[in-house]
Structure 1
């Protein structure tokens, strides 16, 4: 079809979907006067004029809808949809769908939900009818601990949306600043393993994605992710860490890429990400911290301490962030899960002054004169008691909001003269 020709306004074409479903490339139920999708998402539902001689398209036919990629894409497929735990179903009010009605897993407009966290409430809100909500949740996925989203919404919104907003930025941060909240900007200054080079290039494509190149970008990202999981694992710590960072970036692009086919790939990639978290924990436990003050001159000691810190804290933050992301994924997928029992052996040093130091001298000065908090077993008591707003960087805020909730952390910042 010529690019200037509207399928919606073409009464002779095959498109019978309402304007909103056609624009979003989602299945339209063709209900009158408004389809179910528009009704539950409060959209303007407008149908194209239909010629008398043309029979209506059956409900299951949605021309132009594309839910998977070709053979070059990630080979991990969801073999048993009933076992999928990553349905992203929280935006669907159960009151708009009769109990027992069939629900199409691909009807969720993820790009209208997670890509705009003002709409997160629509993702996680539910009706007061918990039996309807539980029945619909089970129609999407077999939940290990079935629950009503109504019981989850307040908890999830207070602890998840701040993290999601910042996690979504990771591909852009990687391209623009060569870092993420869990990967130091100097970590790969001397050597960037091939696994992360490929992920870095995929991020560059991802942040330039538009309607014209979207299909090419999606295939490229999926292809690189498949290559990564099929590649043999390396034994050197920097290669292992780079592999973890690449997996995290691919998972984030799958989660927030706005393509329904990506959601299945996020589900398929999740076990690899969880496994990588288990690999990193023992490596993180082997790291030793610098003790005592650092001399400002000569600078050799400061340079060595800074280099050791960038690797050590990137490793520790990455291990913790992997579990943070996987818990977020399972939470959005409809499964209650905590990570607090997994990374208790991990520790991390919280200090925006150390993390943001631009050179060895600034690092040594911050080490000697600024607060830094060594957190063990996820005990943030010392931070909350003695910390100041400028002591916390983005990673620190993500973890604390995830544990304490957004209102408590806003209150903590306010009492100390800062803002979150």
Structure 2
């Protein structure tokens, strides 16, 4: 006879009569509330399996039921301060060099790959103007703090999308001036600050996103001055996104401590508060929202890196006969549908507990396809795979 043990709710959840996720070593509810999570000793159930049930398949079923939840498998937890380690640990910020098979065989790409990818990203930017979000600008990112740089980029792009033949010259002049001024202003310098807050990182993220908007307009439009300006800013864009990756990795290493302060929804509401000059303190919002915004910030930075690497890498490949380093390399990103699109912190956390987020390195395609069904890859993952491996390869593997 196989003895089965029944796992009870932790003492905190049982005392408050709340549903316990029963994750080990700490359940999700206790982790979010930074409580000490303790489980009572498990007791054998009264269930006695029949002899005919004692088959290899039945044994496997029993083992499967005893496995930890997906959250435990992909959110390694040492204590309640490391709930974000699955997406914010130093290892997750490493940049992987492009595989040798790609750098030695650039013929798998054509100029049409760049054109198609740029058009796709431009459609996303149009979506951002119309709906307030797109696959690399999250709808919650600027709900409480909308930095001036990204405001200017938003209005410039909106003017560009609605330009007419009569005012096209004026619009292009405005975009040229704003892009030039943005680069002249540069990123905020935090070299003398020991701890970088999320407000400062968010400000620099907005500047790099704004420059990407101007880069896409310049490379997309037929205006010679805008294209020349975009070409001049290619190394600037690469430098900026590299600095941003370093700053974000430093900031998010504190994202499970009280030092991490960021604009997060107030308790009891999924909508952000009106625009404010400075973010709310960490004690004014539930830790579930806190963790969600940390992930949004990390994922936004990584997606910005990958968009920059893909678009500018392809452009350099075809604009320069012998580019020294066309590809910047890849990084980790969330490839599965439903996480970026989650409407609330609660929905995002529920998604995390139910399935693997698909946070893998761009070079680990075998791991990606083994853990995420190809039909559940998000559209950002599909475009990044096309920019990295080519459309023919993506069609061959069925993505």
Range into which the TM-score falls when normalised by the shorter chain: 0.5 to 0.7
> Out of 138, 144, 155, which is 1:201 matched to?
155
Q: What is the match of residue 108 of structure 1?
A: none
Q: Distance in 2 between matches of 1:337 and 1:170?
A: 28
1:225 paired with 2:179, answer: yes
Superposed CA deviations along residues 78-121 of structure 1, whole A, max 9, x for unmatched, are: xxxxxxxxxxxxxxxxxxxxxxxxxxxxxxxxxxxxxxxxxxxx
Q: What is the match of residue 253 of structure 1?
A: 217
- Normalized against structure 2, the TM-score is what? 0.58
Q: What is the match of residue 400 of structure 1?
A: 385
Q: What is the match of residue 315 of structure 2?
A: 329
Q: Pairwise mapping of residues 353-372 of structure 1 onto structure 2 (< 5 A)?
A: 353-372=338-357
Stretch moving more, 282-291 or 202-211: 282-291
Q: Distance in 1 between matches of 2:344 and 2:225?
A: 43
Cα deviation, residue 404, structure 1: 2.6
Q: What is the match of residue 36 of structure 1?
A: none
Q: Distance in 1 between matches of 2:326 and 2:316?
A: 14
Cα deviation, residue 314, structure 1: 0.3
Q: Pairwise mapping of residues 334-353 of structure 1 onto structure 2 (< 5 A)?
A: 334-337=320-323, 342-343=328-329, 346-353=331-338
1 or 2 for the larger relative contact order (CA 8 Å, sep ≥6)? Answer: 2
1:177 paired with 2:162, answer: no
Q: Distance in 1 between matches of 2:326 and 2:334?
A: 17
- Indicate conservation of the 8 Å contact 1:159/1:403, yes or no: no
Structure 2: unaligned runs, 5 residues or longer: 1-104, 191-199, 257-266, 271-285
Q: What is the match of residue 280 of structure 1?
A: 244
1:192 paired with 2:178, answer: no
Q: Distance in 2 between matches of 1:182 and 1:348?
A: 11
- Normalized against structure 1, the TM-score is what? 0.55
Q: Distance in 2 between matches of 1:306 and 1:358?
A: 11
Structure 1: unaligned runs, 5 residues or longer: 1-150, 292-296, 414-419
Superposed CA deviations along residues 126-147 of structure 1, whole A, max 9, x for unmatched, are: xxxxxxxxxxxxxxxxxxxxxx
Cα 1:168–1:153 change in 2 (3 A) is farther
2:162 partner SS: coil
- Indicate conservation of the 8 Å contact 1:170/1:249, yes or no: no
> Please, what is the CA RMSD of the aligned residues?
2.9
Q: Distance in 2 between matches of 1:342 and 1:284?
A: 18
- Indicate conservation of the 8 Å contact 1:352/1:390, yes or no: no
Q: Distance in 2 between matches of 1:288 and 1:409?
A: 35
Cα 1:327–1:335 change in 2 (3 A) is farther
Superposed CA deviations along residues 334-386 of structure 1, whole A, max 9, x for unmatched, are: 34558697445x42222221011111222122111133122236323221223
Q: Pairwise mapping of residues 13-412 of structure 1 onto structure 2 (< 5 A)?
A: 154-156=108-110, 159-234=113-188, 235=190, 236-286=200-250, 287=252, 300-337=286-323, 342-343=328-329, 346-376=331-361, 378-412=363-397
Q: Distance in 2 between matches of 1:367 and 1:397?
A: 21
Cα 1:351–1:404 change in 2 (3 A) is same
1:396 partner SS: helix
Cα deviation, residue 258, structure 1: 2.3
Cα deviation, residue 397, structure 1: 0.8
Cα 1:370–1:282 change in 2 (3 A) is same
Cα deviation, residue 159, structure 1: 4.8
1:362 partner SS: helix
Cα deviation, residue 233, structure 1: 2.7
- State how many pairs are aligned: 258
- Indicate conservation of the 8 Å contact 2:292/2:348, yes or no: yes
Cα deviation, residue 222, structure 1: 0.6
